[in-house]
Structure 1
């Protein structure tokens, strides 16, 4: 089933993050032209006072990422620019990511990025995913390389306002669910504990390190969905941009 996710990628070398840091009063929303070529063309929508917009343009002049920028439209609400990058993906991100080929593959189908908001700490993205596997692949890539924080994950369709979950209410992989259920039944989560990590691992017939990783991933995921996602939703950090 298709999903929509809102999430934060904590990486200060992503394009225009340095501009957002230099001009924190500016709202900077980005779009990347189709395809993840070495130098994909960007579109930037900048909001703020006239002084703020001027300051952003000054940072465009300074940052190596921007080779050329063109003001396409200026209204009372926003200024729109096209940006031709001055650095390639390899030059911009190569030292910080383990595999650029994986990154390019992730942002091809089945993912459609609806919004990129540059912040002083990274990017906040809203994207649509063909299924849960596509979202998990993207999340695991960013978690492997930088920080990743999920704000909201929902179905797309008639129940689009409901937080993502299957009919049984669990959001875990089968292996994670088995680890959590076994740990619970053995008393691993009780205070004091009635079972050790090794006890749980033996019951699952896996190593203690694998068991620990499954439990940690499951706990992180449940926190993101049921605690962090709720907090982010209330704070409404991502608002639908007005054109």
Structure 2
């Protein structure tokens, strides 16, 4: 059974990050048309923000050779852009493992959504199995920044944990990805705190509250009541 994942890739060199930084009020979605060789066309959907600021940023972007507005409706605009650089050229000064980057094209995955923000991409997509997801996530953990936001089984109902706050879920996923729950443990509360940019005591509290919520939603509800 496949996996549905949502995650952030933190890398300033990813395409159109400069555009997102120049137009922070706009929501920018990107589709890559890989049937155009090593420079896939950018199909860009922009909602909100200043049209003037977005188009000025596209004109000034070092990774855009030319662009055209191809449609608009209300506050949403659709652009097509020709990249000025291949992905290897764009990321070469930031990522040492270019061979690994090229290998990601063979991973059994389908990225459904790319939202460009001021420090990278927020993505979601399907992965054939855990091995495919691990290959993808490990590459970005080693070469840039990777933060998992959600991971569920294909076709699964809403997983336990819907009562978790975003901060609790983030703490759990970060601790899991960094190996806090491994045996033996591969990281510490201090390391997780540094990753989340909070104190170790705050990490500990979020994890304990998250554990309590999960217990109450799962095993606690199946236990017989304790005797009076």
TM-score when normalising by structure 1:
0.66
Matched pairs, number: 180
Aligned counterpart in structure 2 of residue 76 of structure 1, from 57, 74, 77: 74
> In 2, distance between residues paired with 1:148 and 1:2?
20
Root mean square deviation, CA, Å: 2.9
Q: Do 1:20 and 1:26's aligned partners in 2 also have CA atoms closer than 8 Å?
A: yes
Deviation at 1:160, TM superposition (A): 4.4
How far, CA to CA, are the matches of 2:85 and 2:159 in structure 1?
A: 40
Q: How does 1:71-220 map to 2 (within 5 A)?
A: 71-157=69-155, 159-162=156-159, 180=183, 183=184, 215-216=186-187
CA distance in 2, matches of 1:86, 1:55: 20
Residues 97, 143 of structure 2: 8 Å contact kept: no
Query: CA 1:178–1:18 in structure 2 vs 1: closer, same or farther (change >3 Å)?
Result: closer
Do the aligned partners of residues 74 and 142 (structure 1) sit closer, same or farther apart at CA in structure 2, a change above 3 Å counting? same
Any idea what the Cα deviations from partners look like across 1:34-80, whole Å, max 9, x if unmatched?
3594211111000114xx12210111110111111121111104101
* Structure 2: distance between partners of 1:107 and 1:18: 24
Q: Is the contact between residue 36 and residue 104 of structure 1 (CA under 8 Å) also seen in structure 2?
A: no
Distance 1:123 1:163 in 2: 27
Q: Name stretches of at least 5 consecutive residues in structure 2 with no aligned partner.
A: 162-175, 193-202, 211-228
- Asked if the contact 1:30–1:45 (Cα under 8 Å) also holds between the matched residues in 2, the reply is yes
Uncovered stretches (5+) of structure 1, i.e. residues with no partner = 165-171, 184-213, 231-243
Shift of residue 140, structure 1, vs aligned partner: 0.5
Q: Secondary structure at the match of 1:139?
A: helix
Check the 8 A contact 1:154/1:163 in 2, yes or no: no
Question: Partners in 1 of 2:125 and 2:83 — Cα distance?
Answer: 23
Q: Aligned partners of 2:134, 2:109: CA distance in 1, in Å? A: 11
Indicate the residue corresponding to 2:26 in structure 1: 26
- Quick one: distance in 1 between partners of 2:52 and 2:105? 32
Residue in structure 1 matched with residue 2 of structure 2 by the alignment: 2
Moved over 4 A (4+): 176-179
Match of 2:213 in 1: none
